[in-house]
Amino acid sequence: MKPLRHLSPLLILGTLSGALATARTPNIVVLYSDDAGYADFGFQPECRPEMKKLTPNIDRIATEGARFTDAYMSGCVCSPSRAGLMTGVYQQRYGYDNNLPPGTKDGLPLDVTFGSKRLQKLGYRTGLIGKWHLGYPEAFHPNKRGFDWFYGLLQGSRPYHAMDKASPHRVILENNTPTKEEGYVTDRFGDAACRFIRESREKPFYLFVSFTSPHGPLQPKEEDLKRLGHIDEKKRKNYAGLIVSLDDNVGKILKCLETEGLADDTVVIFTNDNGGQTGTGADNTPLQGKKGTLYEGGVRVPCAVRWPGKIQPGSVVRDPVIALDLTPTFVELAGGTVEDSWKLDGVSILGHLTGRKEELAERPLFWRQHGSTGDRAMRLGSWKLTHPRSKGQAPMLFNLSEDIGESTDLATKKPEVLQSMLTRLDAWEAELMEPRWGPGSPGKKK
């Protein structure tokens, strides 16, 4: 096999399909953390010293597979980033710039097709465990959007410990049925993932485990805090406690795959839903910004992928990739074909299996929040344009290959690069809707 270290994801993930001609299509497991910091996992070279040894199970995915250095979400907050990942389409195209407000009667539009629905049609059993945050009314329920089994909450967050009386959108549901308030939420999601795996051996499966950890509230288990005596600052310690529990349950899921004899036939991806929330203890070193901003610290995320025997351990992917790429990649991994009529913004990586392209073709990546008067950004190659319109600031230009922290604005030194990118960003934005709710939506006070 051609060595995969430092190659593009086209070859690394393309090689994943090498077994498809001779074996059942692989299972797919996505492990999705919430609000975690870029520097808070041991597999990240920038990992903070106090966190370095706290995530051995998550780190295994990278050391036994590939680590992505330039992985992005299409949103900088929870709900929009999920909308983009689940569909393969920039969520702003259908007015999903902002987080879904609790209790709203709207959601991800019903005429937008989820990747899970496409995988169902390709013979996959599909499961969603954990946080949904894409619509509350029955028509928007996970079971209606392509998931055979749902075990989780509809809203964006909830306490980690049992509640005296959980609201309908915070109670943990099994499909449509409320479950008993008991146990620790992260553990419950890990256990549910193992249950799904054990019950899905008869056909290939797609499992999306949407942990709420380490999103607030900061409620670690006492036994986990006892493992963190080396961290003095209280908020950081409580945050680390949530990370420890997350890692334990990732380990539980990896162990279940091994016990069931499925590890070699399963693609496992770990990533996070947006930039780290520094307000609750996350660390995004060396990136500027945090959750809710369009600087690198708001949209660049940790990401690793493993498939034993198919990805060379320790591989590093440096090409920019975005969560929109997952849906078309999964479709081709499942033996399907991405149709032009789907109008996906993400690209499938598996089409390059033959090595016709050894590098991912350069393409623009775009971001926007809060509509046509809100902030926007774009990356093309090493160039990053960041435009904080909401603050009345002019567009800024950064060279990420030399300045990952976006500290030196080159807009006046590279006006031709700036103008070229602005022209492409304007053209993309002209294709978008205004937000359906929240800041920038019609009738919303500015």
Q: Catalytic residue at 230?
A: no
Catalytic site residue from 6, 47, 76, 78: 78
CA-based nearest residue to 81, from 134, 29, 40, 120: 134
Catalytic site residue from 76, 133, 141, 256: 133
H helix or E strand, kind and range, residue 53: none
Looking up tokens 């080396």, which residue turns up? 230
Say if residues 95 and 434 touch (Cβ distance below 8 Å). Answer: yes
Task: For residues 209 and 187, give the distance between their C-alpha atoms in angstroms, rounded to a whole number.
Answer: 12
Q: Residue 387: count other Cβ atoms within 10 Å of its Cβ.
A: 22
CA-based nearest residue to 13, from 313, 333, 385: 333
The b-or-e profile of 345-368 (16+ CB within 10 A means b, else e) is bbbbbbbbbeeeeeebeeebbbbb
**Bridge partner residues of 378 (DSSP):** 366, 385
Which of left, alpha, beta for 361 (phi over 0: left; psi -120 to 50: alpha)? Answer: beta
Q: Catalytic residue at 303?
A: no
For the beta sheet containing 71-72, the strands, ordered from the edge strand earlier in sequence to the opposite edge, are 300-301, 71-72, 321-322
The b-or-e profile of 182-196 (16+ CB within 10 A means b, else e) is eebbbebbbbbbbeb
Catalytic residues: 78, 133
